[in-house]
């Protein structure tokens, strides 16, 4: 926060004159304070105006989700009467419980698998010294940046041979073999942990696996939580892979697939569509608010190329 304050002070153009004149009179200082204040007001106004445009669609979604079907078809913006029952009706309109179960199952398994397999890899990349370490890290970055569509044909062929298409297996099993983004993110976190803790435990004769499990992991719990959140959100939100592998099997539809077909199946029930949207978004928003700090740190870290 102090950072912001300093920057604000530095950024106002008048202080340049102060240096030239060498002295700052009392009236001058008052004028400066007023200019600071006005600049602050201007900045907040800009942000608030942009924010109104940004948040308006969310407001429209919420308002429409509690409208009656006939009112959702008019251009009225305010719901009257408020129909909370939409959130119950939407469960009758689509097998939402089933889709919730599928999505949670896939997202939880993917997250667990990918953490278990990625933590040791990231730990080795951050804490062991070996030949080709940096080259290997670059390969992981390349794998992370590669569009998933580039490898999709051979992988689909592979899963088809295994008889896995139409099941959620292709969506979770690959996570057992490390996820490039998770490895990248965890490695970025891990390099910032001082080596001395590990060295001390190593001198005590602990095995490397024991070191990782009982010394290192307790120190980096927030990092692992953040990486887990990213993995969970990624699977929760994913559309392309579920479309490929379970898009033909309604038993295993995820919420993304179900929602993408909502309108074609249920004509123009905007109110129910928006209620389903909110139910789909709610778990993510709740998780986000619980873990906001480490999550935001994770995003900032993912943009730093080191």
Partner 1 sequence: MTSITAEVHGRTVDARARGAARRRRRNRSRLTILAFLSPGLVGLVVFFLYPLAANLYYSFTHFDLMNSAVWAGLANYRFMLNGDRQIGDALVNTLVFCVIAVPVQLLFALGVASVMARVRSGAGIYRTLFYLPTLLPPVAATLAFTFVLNPGTGPVNAILKALGLPQPLWFSDPAYAKSGLLMLTVWGIGNTIVILLAATLEVPVELQEAAQLDGANGTKRFWHVTLPSIAPVLLFSTIIGVIQSLQIFTQPYVVSTIVGNGSGTTADNLGYPQNSMLFFTEVLYQQGFRYFNMGYAAALSMVLFAATLLVTLVLVRATRRQFHGDGG
Beta carbon of residue 180, minimum distance to partner 1 (angstroms, whole number) = 8
- Whether 277 contacts 259, CB under 8 Å: yes
Q: Does residue 200 interact with partner 1 by CB under 8 A?
A: no
Interacting span for partner 1 (CB under 8 A) from 79-87, 90-98, 176-184, 191-199: 176-184
- CB count in 10 Å sphere of residue 243: 15
- For partner 1, the closer of residues 3 and 26 by Cβ is 3
| Sole binder of partner 1 in the list 130, 163, 203, 204 (CB under 8 A) | 130
Which residues between 21 and 40 bind partner 1 (CB under 8 A)?
A: 40
Told to check if 191 binds partner 1 by CB under 8 A, we report: no
Q: Is 117 in the site for partner 1 (CB under 8 A)?
A: yes
- What is residue 303's three-state secondary structure? coil
Task: Based on the shown chain and the rule CB under 8 A, indicate whether residue 172 belongs to the binding site for partner 1.
Answer: no
Whole-angstrom distance, CA of residue 287 vs CA of residue 167:
27
List, as own/partner pairs, every contact residues 141-146 make where C-beta atoms lie below 8 angstroms and the sequence separation is at least 24, other chains included.
141/180, 141/184, 143/180, 144/180, 144/181, 144/184
Q: Which stretch binds partner 1 (CB under 8 A): 26-34, 118-126, 193-201, 219-227?
A: 118-126
**Out of 128, 163, 194, 203, which residue is the one contacting partner 1 (CB under 8 A)?**
128
Residues 13, 22, 194, 205: which binds partner 1 (CB under 8 A)?
A: 13
CB nearer to partner 1: pick between 49 and 200:
49
Q: What are the tokens at 107?
A: 């997202």
State how far the Cα of 223 lies from the Cα of 301, in Å rounded to an integer: 11
Total binding residues toward partner 1, as defined by CB under 8 A: 101
The answer to whether the CB of 186 falls within 8 A of the CB of 227 is yes
Retrieve residue 207's tokens: 């095995």
**Residues 94 to 113: which contact partner 1 by CB under 8 A?**
none
Q: Is 263 in the site for partner 1 (CB under 8 A)?
A: yes
Q: Are 106 and 168 in contact (CB under 8 A)?
A: yes
């Amino acid at each position: 926060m102090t950072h912001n304050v300093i920057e604000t002070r530095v950024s106002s153009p008048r202080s340049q004159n102060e240096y030239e004149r060498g002295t700052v009179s009392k009236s001058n200082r008052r004028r400066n304070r007023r200019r600071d204040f006005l600049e602050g007001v201007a900045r907040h106004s800009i942000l608030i105006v942009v924010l109104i445009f940004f948040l308006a669609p969310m407001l429209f979604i919420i308002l429409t989700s509690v409208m009656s079907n006939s009112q959702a078809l008019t251009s009225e913006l305010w719901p009257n009467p408020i129909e909370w029952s939409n959130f119950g009706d939407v469960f009758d309109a689509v097998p939402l419980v089933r889709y919730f179960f599928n999505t949670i199952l896939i997202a939880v398994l993917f997250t667990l698998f990918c953490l278990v397999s990625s933590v040791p890899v990231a730990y080795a990349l951050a804490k062991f010294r070996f030949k080709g370490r940096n080259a290997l890290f670059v390969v992981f970055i390349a794998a992370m940046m590669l569009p998933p569509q580039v490898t999709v044909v051979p992988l689909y062929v592979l899963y088809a041979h295994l008889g896995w298409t139409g099941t959620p297996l292709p969506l979770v099993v690959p996570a057992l073999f490390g996820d490039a983004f998770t490895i990248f993110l965890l490695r970025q976190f891990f390099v910032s942990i001082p080596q001395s803790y590990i060295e001390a435990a190593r001198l005590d004769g602990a095995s490397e696996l024991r070191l990782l499990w009982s010394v290192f992991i307790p120190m980096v719990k927030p990092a692992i939580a953040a990486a887990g959140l990213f993995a969970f959100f990624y699977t929760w939100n994913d559309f392309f892979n579920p479309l490929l592998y379970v898009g033909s099997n309604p038993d295993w539809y995820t919420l993304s697939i179900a929602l993408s077909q909502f309108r074609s199946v249920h004509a123009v029930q905007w109110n129910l569509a928006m209620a389903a949207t909110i139910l789909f978004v709610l778990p993510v928003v709740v998780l986000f608010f619980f873990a906001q700090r480490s999550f935001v740190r994770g995003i900032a870290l993912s943009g730093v190329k080191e």
